[in-house]
Structure 1
Amino acid sequence: MTHVLLLGGTFDAHVLSTRLHEAGISAVYSYAGATLTRRTPALPTRVGGFGGVAGLVQYLRDQHITHVMDATHPFAAQISAHAIEACAQVGIPLLSMERPAWQAQSGDRWTQVADMNAAAAALPCDGGTVFLAIGRKQLAAFATQAAHHRFVLRVIDQADEPLPLPAANCELVIARGPFRLDDEIALIREHGIEHIVSKNAGGPDTYAKIEAARQLQLPVIMVDRPQLPPRTQCETPDQTMEWLAHAR
């Protein structure tokens, strides 16, 4: 009997959970639980980590998982790497659904960097207002290397724990995508944003800020996706369902 573990937390994973439910396929949806406000998936859910590779291997065996679909965020590298190793140990198929990365277009002023430390180092030395469109988890580099800047940080929800950025130099914007181009231009103008730091998440939901930067000729520091070991990949829920049909 097919029993799928869907590693989620993205809109595409939410869509895929609905597709699995509608197809009558036995599956469980797992996500980290990092955000307080979230879409409710159509499948039975579990929240939190597995306890590393060993914990995930034990879960796969205990729950008689037959297939794993990794539809986590492209920057959720740890769980993706653990899934690759755990599935190899147990000997079950794994598919990674990952939307294509954004590509620089004519008019874009991108500086591509490997990680957040490099992104913080790439900001100009003379300060300025920086739009951090990177979530709240990887702010330490900006607190230590670029504290002389003023930051506008957009997050999905308000968390209880304090941010590492100096409160006097950081304004919090709470919003969930998809975002419209006109609204992104208005946000940039309202806050006097001069630089944008973005993860290369891909997909349409948060691309409007990149379009806005292009129109306003603002520089963008684009953080590349983490490198992962080779694995079977696709780009859409449709392709994922086709893979499962063949894998079964």
Structure 2
Amino acid sequence: MILGRFVFSAITFDEVSTFVGNIEPIFYWMVFAGFLAQMVDGALGMGYGVTSTTVLLSLGVNLPAISGSIHTAEIFSSGISGFSHYKFGNVNRKLFKVLLVPGIIGAIVGAWLLSEIGEEYANYVRPILAAYTLVLGARIIYTAFKKNKERKKIKMAGVLAGAGGFLDSFGGGGWGPLVTSTLIAKGRTPRFVIGTVSITEFFVTFASALTFFAMLGLSHLQVIVGLVLGGMLAAPIAARLVGKLPMKTMFIAVGTLVIIWSLRILLKAIGLF
């Protein structure tokens, strides 16, 4: 009901008719991008924002519009993904309760701040996050090859969720790379980390999207609908894969994705990408 009210208060019947009658080639690329991004995000607990942001940046869309469009689209794909993870038994309820409220607060603050000051200051935040996650990525891969994996106690998980929600909104992505990689680096089982982070992401994304909508309005409808359709198709498939992939494979895949994401941000920051 809440989602329906949100959507149909923002989109009129005339706008839907205009959309259908003026579908551009970019729409089909967005469906593909949404499918690919959600496959990666649903199976590994990160990558939706990074993949989608890369495509939209290449099309010349400004960062606040990118973040707003992605978070609006991600409401649907993350909702289906979270429900699928829950049905397949990939969710740790205790961890979910710890991450939920701080993640929502961080997302709202990040979206509000980005809407107010624009993307200038976000460019300073990304390299700091990337340096941190680069180290985490290396640790995750190292952990994959350790015979006895240590299970360290998670301290200040709420602060971690708050930072992840803030960076996801303010920096155009970061919830998965920061929260998922940190929890897995602590020795937590990837299946339950990915499932729990994914279902929490729905609420974080919903809070962020509502904030962007209130501050900036809704734009780039074809981009949003394309990402939604692609993500909704991929979400159940990706959630099912999490329970099937071997533990070592998941550690390596997550670690590799984190390293690639981090290096891309760092190289871009110094003008080499």
Q: Which has a greater percent of strand?
A: 1
TM range (shorter): under 0.3
Which has the bigger relative contact order, CA under 8 A and spacing at least 6?
2
User: TM-score normalized by structure 2?
Assistant: 0.26
